[in-house]
Amino acid sequence: MPEFLPILGTPLIMFTRKIGIDLGTANTIVFVPGKGFIINEPTIVALSLPENSVLAVGQEAKEMIGRTPDDISAYRPLKDGVIADYYITKAMLKYFISRAVGRFNIFRPEVVISVPAGITPTERRAVVNAAREAGAKEAFVVKEPILAALGAGIPINAHVGNMIINIGGGTAEVAVVSLGGIVSWSSLRVAGNKFDQAIIDYVKRKHSLAIGEQTAETVKIEVGSALATKEQLQFELRGRDLVSGLPRDISIKSNEIAEALTPFLLEIASSVQNVFNSTPPELVADIMEKGIILSGGGSQLRHLDEFFHRLTGVPTYLAEDPLFCVAKGAGLILNHLDVYKRTLLTKR
């Protein structure tokens, strides 16, 4: 329900003037102060060809993947955390911003958008320009590790070091945060989408079965694991037999998924080690004491905290509501936007 303020006896709707957007490769989450998380949908746009008109955005568009006729195509406008198609990204942002502010909002909102730590100045400008053209009065971009740390409850302005590993759909980012900034970091374009592709390749190689992205994602969620375990989970999936071309059902186990994902998880672990190598010893001691925090949708993989603990020797913990950490951080910045504005503008 909209809130009202009585002015001269006439109710006045309180319009949305600030929006936080976790612009992820796989999912986009929108936060509005006072309302919370109002949108959590896949970062996908369905276009009608050849006129390139937008047919659907978000969940509706995702349901079209692999099921569309030749004159409809579903796109992921972000690749590895950055804009791959400017026109489609702008159309998607316009859809999400208009949904957030409502049909009758007369104000153009200020928008805080998450970006990967490894974003280039050109990619950063593309995000800002796309948001402005999509209806934002002003757009501020903030690096994901800072937002994830804020959303995970890490005191980023403290004089101690904290390490966060944020695994999204397109990027896995490792950062050491201290005194409100990033001391050392690594941005790896290996994350949830690569995990899905690894499962597709594994099933194709080991079982001679072709499956789609959505099936692979379902397998990852239902039985995915970072480590092989004695007690295995099992999942029945259906695909197309590569020999006969006919539908076939197979049963896949969690240890098979662990085998498929291990090469990519080792890449992320290697980047964690590189960040430790470039971090001052005093901050490394802080991290040893406090542990590593995992955030992002990809961090929900079973036994991932134990995987990093084994490889680094540092206690590792999963943040509360890891999928929403970046959006939560954007919300915290929105609540104190005037305080953060100068910093955000200088980092733009």
Per-residue pLDDT of the chain (348 residues; tens, 9 = 90+): 344 333 344 333 445 688 999 988 888 999 888 888 888 998 889 888 777 788 888 888 888 877 777 778 888 888 877 888 888 889 889 988 888 887 666 778 889 999 888 888 898 899 999 999 988 988 989 999 999 999 999 988 888 999 999 999 888 999 999 988 899 999 998 999 999 999 999 999 999 999 998 899 999 999 999 999 999 999 999 999 999 999 999 999 999 999 999 999 999 999 999 999 999 999 999 999 999 999 999 999 999 999 999 999 999 999 999 999 999 999 888 887 777 766 554 444
Helix or strand holding residue 40 (H, E): strand 36-42
CATH architecture of 197-258: Alpha-Beta Complex (3.90)
| Host H or E run for residue 338 | helix 337-346
52 burial (CB, 10 Å; 0-12 / 13-18 / 19+) is exposed
Task: Indicate the DSSP class of residue 39.
Answer: E
Reduce the DSSP state of residue 103 to 3 states and report it: coil
- Rg (alpha carbons) of the chain, rounded to whole number: 21
Residue 161 CA to residue 280 CA, distance in Å, equals 9
Query: How far from each other are the two terminal CA atoms of the chain, in whole angstroms?
Result: 35
Q: Compute the distance between CA of residue 296 and CA of residue 312 in angstroms, rounded to an integer.
A: 20
For residue range 39-59, list pLDDT tens digits in order. 899 888 988 877 778 888 888
Distance CA 61, CA 66 (A): 11
List, by residue range, all CATH 3.90.640.10 domains of the chain.
197-258
Name 338's Cβ contacts closer than 8 Å, sequence gap at least 6: none
Beta strands in 90-200 (DSSP E): 110-115, 138-143, 162-167, 172-178, 181-188
- CATH code, residues 4-41+86-146+326-346: 3.30.420.40
Name every residue whose Cβ is closer than 8 Å to that of residue 15 and which is 6 or more positions away in sequence.
101, 102, 105, 106, 107
CATH code for the domain defined by 155-190+261-322 = 3.30.420.40
The counts of H helices and E strands in the chain are 11, 20
Q: What is the pTM of this model?
A: 0.86
**Ramachandran region, residue 29 (left: φ > 0; alpha: ψ -120 to 50; beta: rest):** beta
Q: Tokens 């804009």 belong to which residue?
A: 83
Spatial separation of the C-alpha atoms in residues 111 and 109, rounded to whole Å: 6
In 10 A of CB 232, how many CB atoms?
Answer: 15
Strands 36-42 and 27-32: antiparallel
- Amino acid at residue number 300: Q
For the chain, residues classed under CATH 3.30.420.40 are 4-41+86-146+326-346, 155-190+261-322
The alpha carbon dihedral of 61, 66, 70, 74 has a sign of positive
| Angle of helix 192-207 versus helix 254-277 axis, rounded to 10 | 140
